[in-house]
Amino acid sequence: MAAPRLGIIIADEKAIRAGRPDDPVDLVVLRSTLINPPRAAGAKKLGAQLRELHPEAALVPYIWHLVSHGPSDGLREHGTRTLPGDPRAFGLLQDTAGVRQAWEIVLQCALALEAKELVLRTPASFTPGALYRQRLKEFAAARAAEGLGLVWEAEGLWEAKSTLALARELDLTTIVPAFDGTGRPFKGTFDRRWLRVDGAGPTTRLRPALAEALLFAVDERDEPATILFGGPRGYANLRAFAKSVEEF
């Protein structure tokens, strides 16, 4: 079994304090940029801080919610950074001046972080119909033209089979839960998928039995695997899984 790539999901900058230089981190996924993307100077400072802690890790920011989420999707009120204009002109990958302006801010942040990939989270209101499929296709093509890879985290009614088919068509990667609601590991191909261990429910603490079950699933597929760890115990769960890999 090839050792899986391990990543940490950073919800806010305070979470970085839990990291250690010897943590086996290959990816740092910045969920904080979904709410408040830092300006270029702040992004450079954050990138330097993260590279000092995890020098071998790639930095992968989330795309700002003003690009991906509409005004009724519940994120706008959590941010301190915004743009002027009709709230309905933002989000859901619309082709509007507001979304284009928001994307330019995302792009400057990504460049400052030296990021090559970005995570696109789409809300439940981004439904699996023809309209949103076409918007996703156009958005992915535009990002590819800029030399950026997309990692798609779909919420709502999208089924894993549908997201995988679109990912293959549009040259995307997707994020899927590593466990179902009962704590059973994901079943399916790891092709174009990153597994996410949530810091809630049965995986708040990645007990040895859960780590072992996930490790067996990775070994059984015999495919390259990428596993992300989030939540307040993200670093602790990453270490627990890394220990299981070492002992396997």
Per-residue model confidence as pLDDT tens digits over 122-165: 999 999 999 999 999 999 999 999 999 999 999 999 999 999 99
Question: Can you read off the two tokens belonging to residue 36?
Answer: 């408040």
Matching residue, tokens 């330019």: 104
pLDDT value for 181? 83
CATH of the domain at 30: 3.20.20.150
- Percent of the chain at pLDDT exceeding 90: 90
Tell me whether residue 98 is in a domain.
Answer: yes
**55: helix, strand or coil:** coil
State the number of CA atoms in the 13 A half-sphere of 91 facing the CB: 23
Tell me whether residue 186 is in a domain.
Answer: no
Residue ranges of E strands in 161-240: 173-177, 193-197, 226-229
Tell me whether residue 245 is in a domain.
Answer: no
- CA dihedral over 123, 124, 125, 129, signed as positive or negative: positive
Tell me whether residue 222 is in a domain.
Answer: no
Tell me whether residue 199 is in a domain.
Answer: no
pLDDT value for 222? 84
Tell me whether residue 88 is in a domain.
Answer: yes
Question: Can you read off the two tokens belonging to residue 211?
Answer: 């780590």
Strands 173-177, 117-122: parallel, antiparallel or unpaired by DSSP?
Answer: unpaired
CA distance 159 to 166: 11
In this structure, the dihedral spanned by the alpha carbons of residues 167, 170, 171 and 174, taken in order and rounded to 10 degrees, is: -30
> Cβ contacts of residue 175 below 8 Å, gap of 6+?
119, 151, 152, 153, 193, 194, 195, 196, 228
What is the pTM (predicted TM-score) of this model? 0.96
Tell me whether residue 243 is in a domain.
Answer: no
Residue 88 has pLDDT above 90, yes or no: yes
Question: Can you read off the two tokens belonging to residue 57?
Answer: 């890790």
Q: Quote the domain boundaries for residue 77.
A: 5-177
In the chain, how many domains are there?
A: 1
